Amino acid sequence: MALSPSMPRDEVFANVTAGVIVGVVAIPLSIALAVAVGVSPVAGLYTAAFAGAVASLFGGSRFNITGPTAALVPLLAHAVLQYGVEVLPLLGVMSGLVLVAMWRLRLGRLVRFMPGMVVVGFTAGIALSIGFGQVNSLLAVTGTDPALEHFHEKLIDTVEHLSTVRWQTPLIGLLSVAFLLWWQHTPKRVPGPLVIVIVATVAVQLLGVDTPTIGSRYGDLPRGFPIPDVRFLWDARLDLLIEITPLAVSIAILSGVESLLSAVVADNMVPAFARHDPDRELLGQGLANLVSPIMGGMPATAAIARTATGIRNGATSRLTGVAHAVTVLTITLLFSGLGSQIPLSALAAILLVVAWNIADFPEVVHLLRGAPREDLVALLGTALVTLFFDLTYAIGFGIVASVVLLLRRLTRVPSVAAFVAEEAADDWIPDDLVALLRAHPDVAFFNVQGVLSFHSAAEFERALIGHDHRPLVLRMRDLHHIDSSGLIMLRGIIDQRRHVGARILLTDVHPEVLLALRRFGIIDLVGVDAVFARAEDAVVALAGGLGEDVAGA
């Protein structure tokens, strides 16, 4: 947890400098993300300050920068629309508790099993949701219904009210977007969002442009240090807690996934350092989400872009994250009064560019062109469900779709292969065994392979039930696992063979599989004298030879 006391002075300076730069980058983004959720801009600043400090101190990555992120915006905006702003602190604490529970259950390493297409799909869906959600602020569309949640409803509502747009605000927004896109492709050390916030604010004040600002929407920002407040916990209703539990779990899962993905990206950027601890990272994010609401913030997660910014500017330790948090809090306390003059169209432009960057549309286009068509079901389905329904459903849909597609592919992989004497080559058995089998066509020989489970048991049964009445040798050298479904199916095949008077022999059984066969009674059913170490011995035994029985070995 502690920062290294033996860090050289120049490294301390480098990390503090990187933290200050990231903090300056985080300020306009934190304000914009809070506005996108529908809460006071200062909530985003408090989130970056307090959640950022706690996660850096207690998390499992020395590089992750935590704060409000675009990934959580659709979920949090949905919660605010449905339950009101006062539900966010409860969601933050509940999601924090879920993350701490995930740490205790050591679930951090499970994120590596999250299907890549699902991650790309819901990231693209989030980006589209954020992007379209900023159109009204970018253009200063008035008269729209703020209670609308779904993309298509909001889009239709916006189109119906386009006549309310005046040219000044769209001009500010579009010029801001163009500037940010140009700025991020040039080697400038000053963050583009900070530049555009300052320039747009000064231009609006000097030119007297009548455009919505933070002050006109939310009032003046508070200037004092936030006072910890836990009253929302005592005032919470049990029925509300039960109702928002699925939403809190979704926030926790998304926060964990986003933070661990950010940690992986950081590890790849600086491979010389020790890799992150995924379980500890869940703990850090859980504690951050417990502290943030109490200090006036909202749910948080690690931000990949801010983490990468810190690394590019010399970050090597947790000190960067702490310095980032201190920078945000200091600037908030000293200059929060100036934030009221920031035009909302400039913030909308910042979020539009953020949405473009996190979606990584060039990569999406590449996947659409080159990925297997079945995988695109998971990608496009997850993105569309995110956009038109809810991120909670989208993650569930994507995982279920990926599992179904995986099982569909697994069922196409043969679990058993028959030796056919007339075929010229059989690369799954050695030449001497091939010659032996061709010399004894009265023996049926099958190679069991892969995993014999619920997904392959039916195909295994079709291959063996009623094949013929010859003695059967099952070579299990390539069988790595068998579950209950496979055991039940194998027992049924043995019973059927014994019913017609045919012998069945097992060979080359892996120790783990042999143990499962013993426990299920398969070995007792076939007899210990029917289990051989080598397939050659089994064939010779069936042909009347003296193969060596090794069942008792």
Is-contact 177 349, C-beta < 8 A? yes
pTM, to two decimals: 0.73
**Residue 432, phi-psi category: left (phi > 0), alpha (psi -120 to 50), beta (remainder):** alpha
Other beta carbons less than 10 A from residue 49's beta carbon:
29
E-assigned strand segments in 153-251: none
What pLDDT is attached to residue 545? 46
Contact by Cβ (8 Å): 39, 85: yes
Looking at residue 93, its pLDDT comes to 97
Pairing of β 504-507 and β 531-532: parallel
Phi, psi of 297 (to 5 degrees): -95, -165
* SS3 (DSSP) at 142: coil
Residue 21 CB contacts under 8 Å (≥ 6 apart), including other chains: 189, 191, 309, 310, 313
Q: Kindly compute the dihedral angle of the four CA atoms of residues 195, 197, 198, 199, in this order, to the nearest 10 degrees.
A: 80
Q: Are 152 and 384 in contact (CB under 8 A)?
A: no
Domains of the chain, each with CATH number or no CATH: 10-217+236-355+363-405 (no CATH), 416-542 (3.30.750.24)
Residue type, 546: L
* Strand 301-302 to 66-67 pairing: antiparallel
Residues in the chain: 553
b/e burial code for range 352-368 (CB count within 10 A of at least 16 → b):
bbbbbbbbeeeebeebe
Type of residue at 6:
S
User: What is the crossing angle of helices 373-388 and 116-133, to 10°?
Assistant: 30
Residue 448's nearest CA partner among 434, 433, 459, 432 is 459
Bridge partners for 444 per DSSP: 472
Non-local CB neighbours of 451 within 8 Å, separated by 6+ positions: 410, 415, 479, 480, 481, 482, 483, 486
Distance CA 185, CA 37 (A): 28
66 beta partners:
302
The strand pairing partners of 505, in sequence order, are: 473
> For residue 303, is it left (φ>0), alpha (ψ between -120 and 50) or beta?
beta
Give kind and range of the element (H or E) at residue 67: strand 66-67
Could you say which DSSP state residue 48 is in? Answer: I
- Bridge partners (DSSP) listed for residue 445: 473
Write the CA distances from 388 to 121, 141, 150, integer angstroms. Answer: 13, 21, 6
Residue 250 half-sphere exposure toward CB, CA atoms < 13 A: 22
The two tokens of residue 253 are: 């899962």
> Of 68, 79, 94, nearest to 297 (Cα)?
68
Q: pLDDT tens string for the chain (553 positions)?
A: 555 556 788 889 989 989 998 998 888 889 989 988 989 899 999 999 999 999 999 999 999 999 999 889 888 988 998 899 999 999 999 999 999 999 999 888 776 667 777 778 877 887 888 788 888 888 888 888 776 767 777 888 888 888 888 888 889 989 999 998 888 887 666 778 888 888 998 988 888 888 888 888 777 777 788 999 999 988 889 999 999 999 999 899 889 988 988 898 888 888 778 889 999 999 999 999 999 999 999 999 999 888 988 898 889 999 999 999 999 999 888 877 777 788 888 888 888 888 888 777 787 887 788 777 777 888 888 888 878 876 667 777 877 887 777 777 666 666 667 666 555 455 567 777 777 777 777 888 888 888 887 777 777 777 777 556 788 888 888 888 888 888 888 888 888 888 777 888 899 998 888 999 999 999 988 888 889 988 888 888 876 643 344 333 3
Round to whole Å and give the CA distance between 236 and 244. 11
Burial class (CB in 10 A: 0-12, 13-18, 19+), 551: middle
Enumerate residues 6+ apart whose C-beta is below 8 A from 438.
421
Nearest in space to 434 (alpha carbons), one of 425, 443, 442:
425
